[in-house]
Amino acid sequence: MEIDKIFNQDCIGGMKNIPDESIDLIVTDPPYKLTSRGNSGTMSGYWTNDITKKGKVFENNNVEIEDYLGEFYRILKDTSHCYIMCNNLNLPHFFEVISKSKFNFVKLLVWDKCTKICGTYYMGQVEHIFLLRKGGDKPINDCGTSDLLSFRNKKDKAYNGVNIHDSQKPIGLFQTMIENSSKEGEIILDPFMGSGTCAIACMRTNRHYLGFELDKKYFDLTNERIRMEKQTLRLF
pLDDT digits (tens, 9 = 90+) for 75-94: 999 999 999 999 988 999 99
Q: What is the mean pLDDT of residues 200-211?
A: 97
Q: What is the mean pLDDT of residues 195-211?
A: 95
The number of folded domains in the chain is: 1
Report whether 75 contacts 15 (CB < 8 A). Answer: yes
Query: Apex CA 140: angle with CA 203 and CA 137, to 5°?
Result: 125
Give the pLDDT band (50/70/90) at residue 157: low
pLDDT in the model for residue 179: 98
pLDDT per position as a tens digit, 36-48: 433 333 333 333 3
pLDDT in the model for residue 16: 96
- DSSP element (H, E) containing 223: helix 216-234
Give the separation between CA 85 and CA 29, rounded to whole angstroms: 5
pLDDT in the model for residue 55: 41
DSSP 57: S
pLDDT in the model for residue 153: 77
For 103, the domain range is: 5-234
pLDDT in the model for residue 185: 98
pLDDT in the model for residue 165: 59
Which pTM does this prediction carry?
0.86
Give the pLDDT band (50/70/90) at residue 164: low
Q: What proportion of the chain, given as a percentage, has pLDDT over 90?
A: 64
Per the model's pLDDT, the better-predicted residue between 85 and 167 turns out to be 85
pLDDT per position as a tens digit, 137-149: 999 999 999 999 9
For residue 160, report the phi and psi dihedrals to the nearest 5 degrees: -90, 5
| Neighbouring residues of 144: CB distance < 8 A, sequence distance ≥ 6 | none
Question: What is the Cβ-side half-sphere exposure of residue 229, based on CA atoms within 13 angstroms?
Answer: 20
pLDDT beyond 60 at 100: yes
The alpha carbon of 40 is separated from its chain's Cα centroid by a whole number of angstroms, namely 25
Give the separation between CA 89 and CA 108, rounded to whole angstroms: 15
pLDDT beyond 50 at 189: yes
Give the pLDDT band (50/70/90) at residue 49: very low
Give the separation between CA 185 and CA 198, rounded to whole angstroms: 15
Return the CATH number at 200.
Answer: 3.40.50.150
- DSSP element (H, E) containing 199: helix 197-204
